[in-house]
Structures are given as structure tokens and as C-alpha cells.
Structure 1
Amino acid sequence: MELVITEEQEALVEAVRQWLDATSDLEGARSANPGQSRIRREGLAAASAMGLLSLLRAGEGGTHADLTLVVEEVGRAATPLPIGQSALVCRVLDDVGIAADTAAGVAEGKIVAVPAQPEPGAERVAAVEQADGTLSLSGRVPLVVGGLAAELFLVPAVAADGSHFVALVPATADGLSRTVRTALDLTRDFASVTLDGVRVPSGSWARTAEGTVEALADALALHHAADAVGAADRLLEMTVQYVRERRQFGRAVGSFQAVKHHCATMALDVECARITVRAASQVLDSADRAARRAQVSSAASFAGEACSRVAGTALQLHGGMGFTWEHDLHLLLRRVKTGELLGGSPRHHRARLLDLVA
């Protein structure tokens, strides 16, 4: 397995980082109204112009490994833009063969669409096929990242007989309601989505294999881990710069051996987390279900805890400065800590790994 990124991928990362550095506004996260989304159309339009939202579509030549690199940069910039989620929505719609026009609109940044995927272990949305060709959906997805701004939700559902479906549901559909969720993370918006007998017309839903739904859940889990890696990498950079500049007892605090050891441990955690996530991203492009499940759970369990340790150490090494509202550190820490629990907690993924190898 090749873990060194190619020159083309390096160019992709550089372009995305330059764009996000120039357009991301962490200050807005401090002043944003909790009931108002920070996702902006112009941001999605720019992502579309760079080909990021259509990266996984047929003919584009992109891979999950490419998208994971992009999501790392999304986490590093702490942007609310649902770039990875939108790309996954396009991929699933193409794979199941529904809503081709909508998929094109999402890829062009004209429509905000995100997956409404219940967390592992949560009750799944129930589906009932109706005689008129519609699909009735009932259930609740407690936490949807980007759900406040979404115009469409990609909802996986299961029937009483075990059949699996994916449905594209407008946020304005009769019977659908969403509620703003207050989370530790201030850089993204969150909502819960409740479906009470929502009727999805023919052409907007499809019966699919269980593997399609599981692959979507795995991809989302890995993207949350990649997002955390990007944020942790930025925290490491901020911390190294701070301990070089902060002076105490007539010398930079970074010259003290104990501080050096902490920074070295942070760097080790970031690099190990990055390697596990990148390895798992390559398996997402394969048809090996067992390898995908094992690699994703390995990456999610390790990266979640490793990035959380990095965030905690960054806070400690910043001292009193790290506790101030005006400093960016707490925004990234909040994002990492929240991401640790999205797509399944490290404990969930370790239990899944145990089941796979037992």
C-alpha cells in the first residue's frame, strides 16, 4: 500500500489550503448566531469550480484517497463547508441511479445536500413502500452535520423485512422537521432531523444493498477522522510557534526538555493518525468489504483519540493564553473533541474491530 501522496495530490492539497486560508473566517465562529448556518453559497461555488464536490463522480478521476486529503484541509481551516459530505452524496446518487439532475446541482454547488446518517448503534429510519410508488419514511436522526443549511437530505432507511433504501428528501417535505442542535463545536452547524411519515416520490429513492449503506457510513466515519487530523495538525503548528516565541526565565519555553517532549509526542500522534486515515482511504476505493471495515475502524479509533490528545496538550502548552475566547485554539479543540464522537466513538470502533477478528 502506497502511503506517500503523488505530485498531483500534493498540488491538490496546496491549492485547497491556499483557497481555504484566504477565505476561512474563524472569527465568524465566535460571533455566529447558534440558529444560523455559516455555510455560504459562494464557498460551495468555489469548491465546485475546483472540482471538489464532483471528485468522486464517474469521469472525474478522483478517489476516496484524494477526497480524504481535501477533508484534512477542511478540518485544518475549520470551515463549515460540507465538501466531503456533498461529494459523498453525489457518489451515492450516481451509484444507485436516482436524481441525476440533483446530483449535478450538488456538484455545481447550487444545492446543499448532506447525508442524514444515524450514528452507529442508533435506531435506523424505517421505510415502507407504498402502493402509489412512494416510500414512506419515519424516524429521527439526532445529529446531522451541516443539517441546518441543507436543502436536501440523503437518508438511508431499512424496511421491516430487512430491505435497505436510500432516499433523497427535501428539507421542506411534509412531515420533516429539523431542530437546531447546540454542540461543543462552534465552527460547524448541527441539526436533528425527524421524519414523520414523509412520502418520497418515485425517482427520489432506490432499493439498494446493505453494503451501499454501510460503505456510506464508513466513508463518513473516515472523513470525520480526516477532519480531526487536519485540525490537530494546525494545533501542532500553532503550539510549536507559540513555545518558540513565549519566553520564561530568560529563554523560550520551547527550549525546556519537558516542553520538547510534549511537542514531539504531539507530532507523533498527528503523523500516526494521518497514516492510518490515509491507509483506510485507499481501501474505500476497493471492493473488499472486510478490509474496508477493519481499516476504517482502525483509523477512526486511533485517530479520534490521538487527535484529542494533541488538542489537550496544545491547550496545556499554551498556558493561560489557550483558555482565552479570543484565541483560535479553543475553536479547533472543540472541533476535534466533537469529531471524536461522530461516525462512531473510538470505543465503538474498537468493539467493531474485535468482532471482525474474533
Structure 2
Amino acid sequence: MENSQSKAAYLLLEDGTLFQGKALGKIGTSAGEICFNTGMTGYQEIYTDPSYFGQVIVNTTSHIGNYGIKLGDEEESSSVKIKGMVCNAFAETYSRITADGSLQEYFEKAGIVGISDVDTRQIVRHVRNAGVMNCIISSEISDPEALKEELSKCPSMEGLELSSIVSTKEPYFFGDESAELKLAVLDLGCKTNILRNFSDRGCYMKVFNAKADAHEMIAWNPDGFFISNGPGDPGVMDYAVDTVNALLETGKPLFGICLGHQILSRACGIGTYKMHNGHRGLNHPVKNLVTGKSEITSQNHGFAVSADEAEKVSDSVEITHLNLNDKTVEGIRLKGKPAFSVQYHPEAAPGPHDSRYLFDDFVAMMKA
């Protein structure tokens, strides 16, 4: 097999900005929405997170691949979900004794195209200022015009429904069947570590397809409902909004994370919008307005809930969490109903564990 890093690779952004570097992963061509993650660890969890489906990730930390990959424990789904990867220094060799292999081999097997030896600081500054846009990576095509033509075929993330693509095709169970609580999960692109956190707290879960009928979920007679994270534009997911509205009618506890937060917000009449470049990293400060305490959070989202529209329905919905960097809405709870959601990732794989109290709060709500 040809060593991919001996080949040149090109990264072309939608606005015409072109970068040249070295190929990594599979030799090929791939396009998607470019976005950057500032986390210094946990690259494998990022690549397997279904929320990144359709996106090309720029890892801002200098070295990627240096601790290899580990199957199972560090995978957030059954396959790599990103469309491509951009980094500065890419390590084909790794130092971790418990690793199952190299990131290069992992990407080759998954068919992931990437580029290294580019100035990721320059790329991030450009995307941060210009806003997220589509891009294309190729280790096959060097002609800018040909790259531009290929890139034009890539759809915009705005208006794109992706949850039904990454969701489980058939319902499955997770956790101990003899657990105290039953939890029905609407899988819009759920991370495995979310399920682990519920299982650790005594929940037995049935995970349903994104487009499952609400009556099917209710018929399982769970103690509560969970609406998961996932990819795509929440503004075009009316089917999920309808499901959540039906689940709320049961009066049983409901909890949403990330895309689940946006869908619950829409079910309450609060709109969503595409952010300039989103939040993706492990160190985003969030204030809990209920307790007055702040927490460092793991985040990954390109859409957000409208604060203005949330204020308009303040008689039925309370904003519970705010982002301390840009004041975006990070959490809500319904007044008079046992339902709440957060924009960030309390399961944090990777990231800090400041927010895991939310799982405890929801489990206590189900027990009550």
C-alpha cells in the first residue's frame, strides 16, 4: 500500500481559499462542512460522534494520532462519522501501549480522507471570521477548478436532515434488563457514552429509530424519555418535534441533549438558527442560572436556540443555562412539566465531568 503521507493533498474552501499539505488516511476526495474542534484530546471520540456526520473536522491541537486508537471504549458509535480531517502534525506511529492500532490504519479502513502539514491556526482564524462553509479535501485532484466543480455538488448543512441516516435502523436494548428504571431513547444520532451514563445510574434503555412513532415509544411503558444529540438542521425536523410533543403529553419526565435540546425548544415554540461557526471543544463556560454555579462543558453544535423567542414563551419555558462567552441559550426547563434540556454534552466523551449532575437530576425525576 502506498504511504499516504508521501502524497500531496489539497484543501479548498467554498470561498476559494486553497491550502496544500500532505495526504493522510485514504487516498481520495471528500467534501463536507468545515468546522474546528479545540479539544486537546479525545480525537477518536470526536470522529465517531454521529453529530459530526457530514462535516470535515479541523483539529486545532498540534499533534493528532500520537496515542493511536482503541476499539470499543473510545468509540461513540459503530463507525467513523466525519467526512474528513484536517490537522497540523499527523503521527502514523503511536506510543500508547494499550492502543489497538494507528489512526492511519483506522482511517484507511473507514475510508476517511484527510490532510496534514497545513497551518491549522490560519484555517481556524479564517473560518472563525468568515463563518462555517463547505470544503473539499483531495489527494487525487490538484486542479483548483476541478476541485471547485466537485465542491459545488456538496449540499449546505442548513436545511439538511441527517438524523434519519445515522439513527439505528432497528430498536435495540442497552443496560441491565433488571434495572430499576426503564428509559425510552429517541436516537437522533446518540453517543454511546450517554447510554453508559444512564446505565450506570440504574436505567435499562430501549433505543428507537429517529422516526419511530411516539405511540410505539409510549407503549413500552418507560419511566421517562430521552431525546439524543445528532447531526443536521433542527429546523427541518418536524417529525421529531411532533414526536416530542406527543411524549410531553404523557406527563412523564423528558430530557434532551444538544439536538434533543433544540427539538424540545421547537416543541415549545422556540425557533433555532445556524450559528456563525458554532461551539466545538472541551472548555466552554456555562452558567447554571438556577444554582448560580458555573461549569466547564464539552460542546459540539452548529445550530442554537433563539434567546429572543425563548423570552417570548417565558410563561411556559425557563432559560436555565447560559453560555458565558456569547450568552447563547444552553439550557431550558418547562414550567409545570417534568422536562428539561441542555445544549452541551454532560456525558463529555471527551471532556470535563462538571455537568454529569444532569443525569442524576433526570434519574431522580424519573424515580419521583
- Note whether the superposition's TM-score is higher than 0.5: no
Which of the pair has the greater relative contact order for Cα pairs under 8 Å at 6+ separation?
1
Which has more strand, going by share of residues?
A: 2
TM-score by length of 2: 0.24
Point out the structure with the larger helix share: 1
Q: TM-score of the superposition, structure 1-length normalised?
A: 0.25
